[in-house]
């Protein structure tokens, strides 16, 4: 399995004036998804903030008939996978270190202190939309992460949940803002894109809506499926992400002078550099 670098150094970006504008809100240099936010060492923060921002945007739109809740799932991963899924701050012992056999004299043999391999619990957040009158789970909204898209065990667990939802009357919204890894499985016409949003309404399965989009495009908006006949609120994901970018001040922790991870194609990298060169702070 190919692994991302376990650590990356982030430095403040110098605007064209040469002055660090720490107290001035910044917009992303990209019209849609910012590829620099995809790095595994930053994505856990982006993931949790963005899923919370989506919940905050949806809650007043679906009230008083529905309520939105943040839910968590946890699973164990091996120590050497922590950096891969976005935990570079955890110190691990490499299992590939050479081991030298040493024969102890019988007189010295006894109780020896050893280290056993330990997994680590990883939490992920997702959204649930419930009907107020019955408490029924109506819609699940998932934002994919390296843990459930790239990590073998995490992906298998997520795909099991996905298949289960497809067998129920619960709607599923799946947002994939990561270029790395294979897209989640779907039948029908194959569409190649950098990013994608799938909206699966229980009332129209097996048919679903796919919103594919690329780096150079704004993130499309979509309607959140609810119970049949109820008005579906619009999720303006591009606006939500860009507002979050400014509030979180991601401009202070991204080095746009270096290529993003995963790397872009040569054409997209040239385009990205042009966007960065024209980047100006919000006035």
Q: Cα angle vertex 222, ends 151, 36, to 5°?
A: 45
Query: What pLDDT score does 109 carry?
Result: 59
**For residue 237, is it within any domain?**
yes
**For residue 279, is it within any domain?**
no
Is residue 123 scored above 60 in pLDDT?
yes
Q: Which domain covers residue 196, as residue numbers?
A: 38-87+115-248
Task: Give dist(CA 81, CA 35) in Å, integer.
Answer: 22
Task: Give dist(CA 127, CA 69) in Å, integer.
Answer: 6
**For residue 101, is it within any domain?**
no
Task: Give dist(CA 55, CA 173) in Å, integer.
Answer: 13
Give pLDDT tens digits for 146-183. 989 988 888 999 999 999 999 999 999 999 999 999 99
Is residue 283 scored above 50 in pLDDT?
no
- Identify whether 262 is preceded by a cis peptide bond (ω within 30 of 0): yes
Q: Mean pLDDT over residues 128-151, rounded?
A: 95
273 Ramachandran zone, left/alpha/beta (phi>0; psi -120 to 50): alpha
- In contact, 194 and 179? CB cutoff 8 Å: yes
Overall domain count for the chain: 1
**For residue 16, is it within any domain?**
no
**For residue 282, is it within any domain?**
no
Give pLDDT tens digits for 41-67. 899 999 999 999 999 999 999 999 999
Is residue 1 scored above 90 in pLDDT?
no
**For residue 209, is it within any domain?**
yes
Query: What pLDDT score does 122 carry?
Result: 61
Find the range with the poorest average confidence among 12-21, 120-129, 192-201.
12-21
Per the prediction, the chain carries an average pLDDT of 82
Gyration radius of the chain's alpha carbons: 22
**For residue 43, is it within any domain?**
yes
Alpha helix segments (H runs only) across the chain: 43-62, 146-149, 152-166, 237-248, 266-277
Which CATH number belongs to the domain containing residue 136 in this structure? Answer: 3.90.1570
- In contact, 39 and 261? CB cutoff 8 Å: yes
- In contact, 174 and 144? CB cutoff 8 Å: yes
A 10 A CB-CB count for 208 gives 19
Give pLDDT tens digits for 24-45. 557 899 999 999 999 988 999 9
Is residue 222 scored above 50 in pLDDT?
yes
Give pLDDT tens digits for 62-121. 999 999 999 987 655 555 554 443 443 332 323 344 445 555 565 565 687 766 665 565
Q: What is the model's pTM?
A: 0.78
**For residue 17, is it within any domain?**
no
Q: What is the largest CA-CA distance in the chain?
A: 80
Task: Give dist(CA 104, CA 272) in Å, integer.
Answer: 60
């Amino acid at each position: 399995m190919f692994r991302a670098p376990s650590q990356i150094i982030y430095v403040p970006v110098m605007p064209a004036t040469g002055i660090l504008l720490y107290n001035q809100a910044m917009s992303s240099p990209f019209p849609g998804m910012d590829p620099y936010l995809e790095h595994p060492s930053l994505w856990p923060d982006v993931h949790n903030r963005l899923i919370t921002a989506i919940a905050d945007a949806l809650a007043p739109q679906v009230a008083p008939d529905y309520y939105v809740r943040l839910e968590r799932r946890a699973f164990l991963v091996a120590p050497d996978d922590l950096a891969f899924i976005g935990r570079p701050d955890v110190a691990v012992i490499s299992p590939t270190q050479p081991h030298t056999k040493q024969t102890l004299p019988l007189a010295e043999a006894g109780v020896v202190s050893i280290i056993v391999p330990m997994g680590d619990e990883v939490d992920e957040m997702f959204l649930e939309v419930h009907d107020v009158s019955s408490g029924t789970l109506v819609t699940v909204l998932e934002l994919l992460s390296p843990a459930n898209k790239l990590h073998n065990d995490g992906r298998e667990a997520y795909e099991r949940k996905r298949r289960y939802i497809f067998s129920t009357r619960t709607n599923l919204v799946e947002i994939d803002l990561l270029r790395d890894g294979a897209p989640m499985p779907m039948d029908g016409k194959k569409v190649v894109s950098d990013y994608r949003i799938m909206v699966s309404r229980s009332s129209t399965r097996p048919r679903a809506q796919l919103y594919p989009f690329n780096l150079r495009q704004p993130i499309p908006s979509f309607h959140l499926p609810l119970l049949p006949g109820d008005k579906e609120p619009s999720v303006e994901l591009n606006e939500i992400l860009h507002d979050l970018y400014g509030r979180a001040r991601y401009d202070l922790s991204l080095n746009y002078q270096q290529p993003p991870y995963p790397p872009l194609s040569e054409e997209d990298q040239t385009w990205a550099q042009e966007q960065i060169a024209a980047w100006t702070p919000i006035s």
